[in-house]
Amino acid sequence: MQRRDFIRKLAAGSAALGAGLGLSNTAHARAKYRWKMVTTWPKNFPGLGTAANNLAALIGEMSGGRIRVKVYGAKELVPAFEVFDAVTRGTAQMGHGAAYYWKGKSDTAQFFSTVPFGLTAQEMNAWMYHAGGLELWRELYKPFGLIPAPAGNTGVQMGGWFNKEINSVADLKGLKMRIPGLGGEVLKRAGGTPVNLPGGELFTALSNKVIDATEWVGPYNDLAFGFYKITKYYYYPGFHEPGTTLEALINREAFEELPKDLQSIVLNACKVVNQDLLSEYTARNPAALDTLLNKHHVDLRRYPDDVIRELRRLSREVVGELADKDDFSRKVFASYDAFYQQSKRWSDISERAYLEARDKS
């Protein structure tokens, strides 16, 4: 009897242990994760802000609710330009912004947002996904405990809003303009003063003449901010941002705690939003420009050719110096420039040739 009781108890214990192990695996598969996402954008701002919302919603839907991501706009949890640090610390598990905001962390980061007179949105995506760009970006962010992922692109931006006409390079001298990243350094070398302000502060700064000019994104967003109410001249093209990649910042520790299927969901949700936002801008900018021109009578101007030539010369100078800053910058630039040269040759006989042919038909 004692022996039978012992065997029965041992069997029961083994069953319980097995059940416990099974329950543990199931629990891991069904575990619920609650993440925070901080952004550099005003809450719910069209395009930029709603892309962050869409990313959070998509992660929730694709995971069947196993990951819930709460989005915080700029200043709701942390200021706009503290997003990088907040995700590094783990204050939030995700962030949404643009890499050129973090040049104080690494100047090289700017290559992964946009380069003046550089790659377009389609070319940036190609470099990132199929020509080594993303691997280099992740290598750069690894010491910060971050995993970056493309999570949106604005396409070619506008040159900006100005309180005065730009008729020559001389008109850029002394100009106080909100313009981030490498474009800001180009303006500085042309004699202007670049100012880096988050989007939510631009209307007030321009209205109060703290700045003389600002670039933001393009007609879709510029209409939403109402810049036409306080400035007269709207310039193009956006030489400084030919295809700006937006980023999802992911805290590496939080990411590695996820099971493999959820890791895949997070990264693929970023891919979906990356493509969707570019499509949104491509769809919304034309209608918004029509409203700005025909309803609000904005004075649309093209930069004079001599201004473009000088900005291009200064851009080469600025990018060249950045490329030679250190070994890793040289490594990134070598990859970027090799793809740029190859892509340019193809674009000349594809996109450019087609657009010229279309315009003549």
> pLDDT tens digit string along 195-231?
999 999 999 999 999 999 999 999 999 999 999 999 9
Contact in structure between 331 and 136 (CB atoms under 8 Å): yes
Alpha-carbon separation of residue 81 from 39, 90, 98, 218 (angstroms)? 9, 16, 10, 21
Selected residue with higher pLDDT from 13 and 7: 13
Query: What does the alpha-carbon distance between residue 354 and residue 350 come to, in Å, rounded to a whole number?
Result: 6
> What is the CATH topology of the domain spanning 31-154+243-282?
D-Maltodextrin-Binding Protein; domain 2 (3.40.190)
Q: CB within 8 A of 258, min separation 6: which ones?
A: 33, 67, 266
| Beta-sheet pairing, 245-251 with 213-214 | unpaired
Q: What is the pLDDT of residue 259?
A: 98
- Residue 11 pLDDT class (50, 70, 90 cuts): very low
Say what percent of the chain tops pLDDT 70: 91
Per-residue pLDDT at 167 exceeds 80: yes
Contact in structure between 240 and 182 (CB atoms under 8 Å): yes
pTM score, whole prediction: 0.89
**Which helix or strand (DSSP H or E) is residue 38 part of?**
strand 33-39
- Give the tokens for residue 318: 């600025």
Q: Strand locations in 114-159, DSSP E?
A: 146-153
